[in-house]
A and B are shown apart, each in its own frame.
Chain A
Amino acid sequence: MCDSGHDLRQTRRQFFGTSALSLAPLALASLLDEAGAHEAHSAGAGPFAPRPPHHAPRAKRVIFLYMVGGPSQIDLFEPKSALVERDGQPIPESYLKGIKFAQIQEKQPRLMGSPWRFARHGQCGADVSELLPHTATVVDHLSIVKTMKADDTNHAFAELQMNTGWRRFGRPSMGSWISYGLGSESRDLPGFTVLLSGMRPRSKSANYGNGFLPSAYQGVPLRATGDPILNLSSPAGFTPKRERRTLETIRALDAARFDVTGDPEIAARISAYEMAFRMQTSAPRLLDLSSETAETLAMYGIADAARPTFARNCLLARRLVERGVRFVQLFHGDWDHHSHIASGLPDQCRQTDQPAAALVKDLAARGLLDETLVIWGGEFGRSSVAQGPKDANVGRDHNIDAFTMWLAGGGIRPGQTLGTTDELGCFAAGDSFHIYDLQATILHLLGLDHERLTYRFQGRDFRLTDVYGNVIEKLLA
């Protein structure tokens, strides 16, 4: 506080004292330089000040490709010949006992094999269906986990469990926890940025909310229409020159108030205004894809750079992590194919397969994958049995007992598949990895101990992983 106080007094003297109150000589550049110096001084005070991890991190940043609705692992990653052979037969009684369906009411629903062809890919020989031809080309970068376990068949609660560690509203999201734990390394963009395309998660902004943490740790959605960040643009008539004058005035007067009151909160506010001002330049620059080559746009499959597609968002994710943003979360839906899976699933794959694979390749090519953890998956997977009569409308119900996610980069062992399911793809046969284990692992890779990252609220120390979670050692490189 003493250092930043000194800084501010300097500024005040410059502003009020020597320059005969002329605003023009005070170049914004020097103010911003000072702001940078000031921020360095006040590290430890502000909500975004970088904080040391608990142990050496393997990943510095995370991109979570959240697949809203629950993708059908049976049709994407799990070739089950037994299921194809027994297609149409009732599911055995022994299986039924443990399964919780979300919608299926039938007493003995019928098994449904995948109509799509599978092949082994890459040196690791991972199974990927024909619906994900691009993902198939990056499997040697991935750890594919086939036995993820969730607890809730209800989308809204299951989303919350995946993203906040709790099946009810009100808890901080993973990105918030991480921002709280590590601060932000980006000086001009929000440290936890959210990109939305297609259908939104059912439990909406609670999936990237701050819960009971300070709102500084909220995920900031980049908006698809209008300002990319809410209220980013200055109102009509407020030209950059005018805004610079306004900002200088605010800074000078805030600094003067600091001089009177000595309240360090004012220094934090001055920093916030300066970062806001920088965001006004940096956010539009972030969204301006004109510097990207045609090859890059083609690799991601971006036809129209103005449309907020999943493809565009994947490219933005790379641009965000390049700019030091710590946690980027994409949400894309809807994978909830209770019906019309025959048309709906290929459609989702067309929208997401190429860009997700391109992101992994692009990060790898730019040397960013080593320190960027990429995660793909939704709140659960889909059932091995058919929902509805087997016609064009048929679909799959939810499966919370064994579903697939993949991870890449950021300290993840590349080119492996973890966990196997039973012959019908209903349950784990052997190792099962709970959502809490995934969360513990993500924190671990970032250098955080999930049992030590706590926040006291209502008389209790809360954690992302509640009272559960084990780091999945087998995932670590």
Chain B
Amino acid sequence: MPRLCRHTRRALDWALTIAIRAAVLLVVLPLALPLAISTVAFAESPDVAHWAFKRPVQAALPAVKSAGWARNAIDALVLAKLEVRHIEPAPEADRRTLIRRLSLDVLGLPPSPDDVARFVADPAPDAYERLVDRLLASPHFSERQARHWLDLARYADSAGYESDLPRSVWRYRDWVIGALNRDLPFDRFVIEQIAGDLLPGAAAAQVIASGFHAGAMYDPGVRWESVLDQVSTTGTVFLGLSVGCAQCHDHKFDPVSQREFYALYAFFDSAEISPFELAAPAEKTARDALQARVDALKKKRTDYEAALKQSLAAWAGGLSSDERSKLPPPAQAALPTTGGEPSAESVSNLLAARAASDPQFQAMCREIDERTKEVPLLETTLTMRAEPRETHLFVRGNHEQPGEVVAPGVPAFLHPLPHADQPTRLDLARWLVAPENPLVARVTVNRIWQRYFGSGLVETENDFGVQTPAPEHQDLLDWLACEFVARGWSLKAVHRLILCSATYRQSSHARPDLQAIDPTNRLLARQRRLRVEAEIIRDLALAAGGLLSLKIGGPSVFPYEPEGVLDGRATKATWTTSPGADRYRRGLYTWTWRLTPHPMLALFDAPDASMACTRRDRSNTPIQALTLLNDPTFVECARRLARRVLAQEAGDHRDRLARTYQICFSRDPRPDEADVLLRLLEVEISELRADADGARQIAGELPPEADAAELAAWTVVCRAILSLDEFVTRE
């Protein structure tokens, strides 16, 4: 790669950055000065001395000896620390590894063999950067990143709790995808999700964005639990603080008092989760007219029922003894002969019995039923809606013990809330992304970093509180955080910076030389191999089998699910496998019943959507192995991959195997690897030639003129390949 070109590009990059920063500084400085003065007042408190509670500063970049290695500021900061310890960075991964790594990280999709070949052969010095740009521009980038964000939003398609009723909030999911795709500046991204409904003249899309909190678990009977969760989630996601700890008592470590917790609570307490109608005004008007007709009929029936009640005694008196005995026992209790004053309950039972036998009343009921059916159910999505309330602190966190009244407010150790008589969620949202907030940019870039290196620069990605010491790479974290804000809160700019760094491009192979010094890779002298997430594992298998539907957005879908998952629910839930290509949509579109999650997703550490999940585990279990080998979806993918390879590749078995490896691993098999698989293939072919039934069972539905034994043997091979560690791992 010619050096000049890269350097020129970098110089241009930096010049631009500096220009933007200068401009930002001009605007921010006058605002920041009074703040700086007010901060001095806090300087005594040890809490404020905590590194993460001070605003990040973009320090000058250190001088490094191997300047040729560093491609951008990230690298200079990483390299400086390595050089102090006389550690060389790991070599750059080869291009095949790089394109697969990038594709899995950025899109969650495998690169096609053609993409790989093109990239490997691309002689242009900026081939890598162009690839990054192409991937960041792909709409699938935003699907991949949206799933990460939905983990924070504890997004699901049902309400949770015992009843776990279905509801519609997928428009919010699609809003996230769209916003990330057009790189909506992160400050606006946050404001619209916390308080889009309160924006002056809010557009429908901005109201939909408030599904961030509205789409979480919700039961109106325990509404306060949702509000508590909204406060905790806001603290975790935007501040990296466990404010939820202050629900019952002052925070044990961080400077958040219980009172301050409820001051935050007050913002969310003054809101209702409500369905927002997405229909056009004309549709709503038409619906309202039909509903008004039903309401009028109901009013008429109520009046008629009142008249029936008036004459109830007379009616009962006129009944024959036979007719009386046929009344339901609870109604008989109200008959005049019983003596005494009949209870209200028995009277209403008697009235019901009369109404049931009154033709006119019954006709009214029928008409109401029919007219009700004509009222269309307009599509809705869950959103927040302002609903002012007086908030009381919960004594010891117990909602049954309301304490003093608390006004909305923010923790005193952080920057002050701009003055407002009655601050709202919108004020809180703006406060969260105010330039003075020392946390939000750090926490956000740290989470992005975590996606690309397996853990954040701050390992406790959800706790930047006083318990968390300054990380090894605080300078890098702060540099990125400042850069993020300076580049207009552009998420894509942060992604690009990280992806283009030499640090990211390093090989992920273990380094025995660093095992003792840096076992957890805090120094970043290599990349890491990472098992991909639950949804992506399935996406990769479907892609290998040529089955994956790349349709973006829309209502959630129902892929294959084993029987029995929904058994025994208190409320009915259904799972009818989606027809056609919708069975093979990407994992993030799979319908989620919170109470009865899809077992494949739960097995591979997909979060349960009860609380914000800021980091998924990557567990590695026998049940996962059984799933990759035997789950009907994966078996189907193996069959389709076999068919695909046989159809596409005219050469011999070795050529076909190479093709399979290119599809699955973006590389050719090593000769010894190929030998092992070809040996398996040959044994299988010869056995299956003699076992037509076995061949048919393995190959499944046969394409016309297929050689069943060959297809079956290839299915055996492909199933093994899809179960390899490398297949589910981004290297």
Chain A residues near B (Cβ < 8 Å): 1, 15-16, 21-23, 46-47, 154-156, 168-170, 190, 199-200, 202-206, 209, 211-216, 218, 220, 223-226, 229-239, 242, 245-246, 249-250, 252-254, 256-257, 260-266, 268-270, 272-273, 275-276, 279-280, 456-460
Contact = CB atoms under 8 A, between A and B. Distances in A.
Contacts of A262: 509-510, 512
Interface stretch (B353-361, B415-423, B563-571): B563-571
B697 interface: yes
B676 A15 contact: yes
Contacts of B624: 272
A263 B698 contact: no
A310 to B, nearest CB: 15
B602 A218 contact: yes
A245 B681 CA distance: 10
6 contacts: A169-B160, A206-B610, A237-B693, A242-B716, A250-B723, A257-B726
Nearest to A21: B675
A237 B698 contact: yes
Contact of B242 (A212, A276, A458): A458
A233 B630 contact: yes
Contact of A276 (B515, B564, B629): B629
Q: Which of A231, A234, A262 has the most CB of B within 10 A?
A: A231
Contacts of B726: 253-254, 257
B648 interface: no
B286 interface: no
Contact of B620 (A216, A233, A239): A216
Contacts of A170: 608, 610-611
Given A231-B629, A265-B529, A456-B460, 17 more contacts: A47-B619, A168-B225, A205-B596, A206-B608, A216-B619, A230-B626, A232-B630, A236-B697, A237-B697, A242-B687, A253-B726, A265-B531, A272-B621, A272-B624, A458-B236, A458-B244, A459-B468
Contact of A234 (B162, B630, B673, B683): B630
Contacts of B103: none
B387 interface: no
Interface in B501-541: 508-510, 512, 515, 529, 531
Given A230-B626, A272-B625, A275-B622, A252 B242 contact: no
Contacts of A16: 672, 675-676
Interface string B694-725: 11111000000000000010001001100111
Nearest to B688: A237
B35 to A, nearest CB: 26
Contact of A459 (B465, B621, B630, B631): B465
A23 B683 CA distance: 9
B562 A230 contact: yes
A458 B443 CA distance: 13
A1 B608 CA distance: 32
Given A232-B630, A250-B723, A456-B460, A215 B625 contact: no
A206 to B, nearest CB: 7
Q: Which of A154, A156, A170 has the most CB of B within 10 A?
A: A170
B635 interface: yes
A63 to B, nearest CB: 21
B684 interface: yes
A242 B596 CA distance: 34
B529 A459 contact: no
Contacts of B731: 261
B592 to A, nearest CB: 13
B241 interface: yes
B115 interface: no
B620 A205 contact: no
Contacts of B240: 459
A211 B608 contact: yes
B627 interface: yes
B510 A266 contact: no
Contact of B626 (A204, A231, A242, A458): A231
Contact of A1 (B463, B465, B515, B724): B515
Contacts, number: 225
B626 A229 contact: yes
B716 A459 contact: no
Contacts of A458: 232, 236, 242, 244, 462-463, 611-612, 614
A169 B217 contact: yes
A245 to B, nearest CB: 6
B161 interface: yes
Contacts of A456: 460
B594 A169 contact: yes
Contacts of A225: 563-564
Given A204-B569, A249-B720, A276 B162 contact: no
Nearest to B665: A257
B402 interface: no
A168 B58 CA distance: 42
Q: Which of A47, A229, A245, A268 has the most CB of B within 10 A?
A: A245
Contacts of B677: 249, 253
Contacts of A226: 562-564
Contacts of A190: 622-623
B595 interface: yes
Interface residues of B, number: 90
A256 to B, nearest CB: 6
B679 interface: yes
Given A263-B510, A263-B529, A458-B611, A237 B712 contact: yes
A465 to B, nearest CB: 15
B260 to A, nearest CB: 16
A274 to B, nearest CB: 8
A430 B130 CA distance: 75
B456 to A, nearest CB: 13
B242 A268 contact: no
A217 to B, nearest CB: 8
A22 B568 contact: no
B617 interface: yes
A190 B531 CA distance: 22
B670 A256 contact: yes
Contacts of B632: 235
A18 to B, nearest CB: 12
Contacts of B467: 459
A209 B599 CA distance: 11
Interface string B646-686: 00000000000000000000000010110111011001100
A47 B620 contact: yes
Contacts of A234: 629-630
B622 A169 contact: no
A9 B490 CA distance: 46
Q: Which of A206, A245, A273, A458 has the most CB of B within 10 A?
A: A458
A238 B634 CA distance: 14
B92 interface: no
Contacts of B569: 204
B672 A256 contact: yes
A215 B603 contact: yes
B720 A246 contact: yes
A466 B324 CA distance: 60
Given A200-B568, A218-B603, A257-B726, A231 B627 contact: yes
B676 A235 contact: no
B724 A261 contact: no
A305 B596 CA distance: 28
Q: Which of B161, B162, B244 has the most CB of A within 10 A?
A: B162
Contacts of A156: 161-162
B196 interface: no
B725 A266 contact: yes
A268 B620 contact: yes
B679 A22 contact: yes
B277 interface: no
Contacts of A263: 508-510, 529
Given A204-B596, A237-B694, A459-B467, A230 B160 contact: no
Contact of A23 (B244, B460, B679): B679
A273 B620 CA distance: 10
B559 interface: no
